[in-house]
Amino acid sequence: MGQLTYEQLRARLDRGKLGGSYFLIAEDEFLRDEAIELIAGAHLEGGSVDFDLDQLTGSEVEASALAAALGTPPMLSSYRVVVIRDGQGLVPSARSVVEEAASGSVEGRVLVLTADIGRSKAKFWDRLRKACHTVSLKTPQAAELPGWLVKRARGVHGLELETRAAQLLAAGIGARLGVLDQELEKLANFVEPSRRVGLDEVRAAVGALPQVDRWSWIDKVADRRIGEALVDLPDLLDSGESAVALIGAISESLLRVGLALEGQNAVVRVLKRDGAYRNLGWKVKTYVRQARRWNGEEIESALTELFHADRLIKSGGLAPRSALEEALLRIEALGSNGGRGTGPRGKAGGGRG
């Protein structure tokens, strides 16, 4: 069977296509449990959850108990839903029970198996993909968090969350998706329906948040506003960001800016290939705009400086803040040198704005 996104799963259930087996590939517990709740809610009626929902854990359930649960007919609902979390923990005999259940169709039975399979190439997962409705619940990467928040605010909570506000919220909470969703729910109760939510509303509703967020800061570097980025760097590091993580994030952003030198379609193609377009599609025009400030040689030189800074930090050759500051100064010098920054260490060149 084909692979579904969460939105496609919801649309399928809304159309009344029920029953069968579901294989949820998920790293994040919040995304996993949300999908389980969606499937169970679509199949179970009212109070039948207490009677027709079995929730098991892969590392704890024995094959005999699993077979018994899968063989029990529904009591109060049209379906009995058997959920197995952490399917990667199933012993071989229990995996055989799951395979047999997934490959067959029993009226009134719904099997939901979730697993964090990482890079495993076990044939068990391939067989489940073929036998089940497979749903990929991809955890948004750091660069994708603001886009994920904007989409979720609109689709789940009816909020028009501004990008800068999403960046600030993500900077304050981090990648804890469940907590981020709770903050969106709080914002939905704080503002009027359909009202745009900006920086002021987020600061008023959420409370203590950093003055500088990593995404706006990275854009300053990509926009070649290096002087502003250097001024904000101490606050950013004091808020808990690490220099190594920032180097990685800048490098990732500049790689996409480099792709944008080839045109918008090149960026879109790679984002789709990497599964990031869903949460980063809105950013494509920004990459294209930023690409006008660079040429290919400058991008390559900037990435080299960042690589050197990363090596210096990891080898203990220079303090993290100093290494990153030095790399930024040498990147700033690229604009005046017309190539790789070769000015004295610790001195700024005339940056190209």
Rounded to 5 degrees, what are φ and ψ at 349? -90, 175
pLDDT for the residue numbered 193: 67
pLDDT for the residue numbered 340: 40
Pairing outcome for strands 3-4 and 196-197: unpaired
Indicate whether this model's pTM tops 0.85: no
CA distance 160 to 188: 10
CA distance 2 to 277: 19
Domains and CATH numbers, the chain: 3-137 (3.40.50.300), 142-206 (1.10.8.60), 214-337 (1.20.272.10)
Per-residue pLDDT of the chain (353 residues; tens, 9 = 90+): 778 989 899 999 999 999 999 999 999 999 999 999 999 999 998 778 889 999 999 999 999 999 999 999 999 899 999 999 999 999 999 999 999 999 988 899 999 999 999 888 889 999 999 999 999 999 999 999 999 999 999 988 989 999 999 999 999 888 899 999 999 999 998 887 667 899 989 988 887 788 889 999 999 999 999 999 999 999 999 988 999 999 999 999 999 999 999 999 999 999 999 989 989 999 999 999 999 999 999 999 999 999 999 999 999 989 999 999 999 999 999 976 444 433 333 333 333 33
Rounded to 5 degrees, what are φ and ψ at 54? -105, 130
- Specify whether the CB–CB gap between 54 and 83 falls below 8 A: yes
**Burial class of residue 146 in the structure, from the number of CB atoms within 10 Å of its CB (0-12 exposed, 13-18 middle, 19+ buried):** buried
Neighbours of 34 (CB within 10 A): 17
Direct distance between the N- and C-terminal alpha carbons of the chain, in angstroms, rounded to an integer: 51
Helix axes 163-173, 214-222, angle to 10 degrees: 120
pLDDT for the residue numbered 120: 83
Distances (CA, A) of 61 to 78, 100, 111, 275: 25, 16, 15, 33
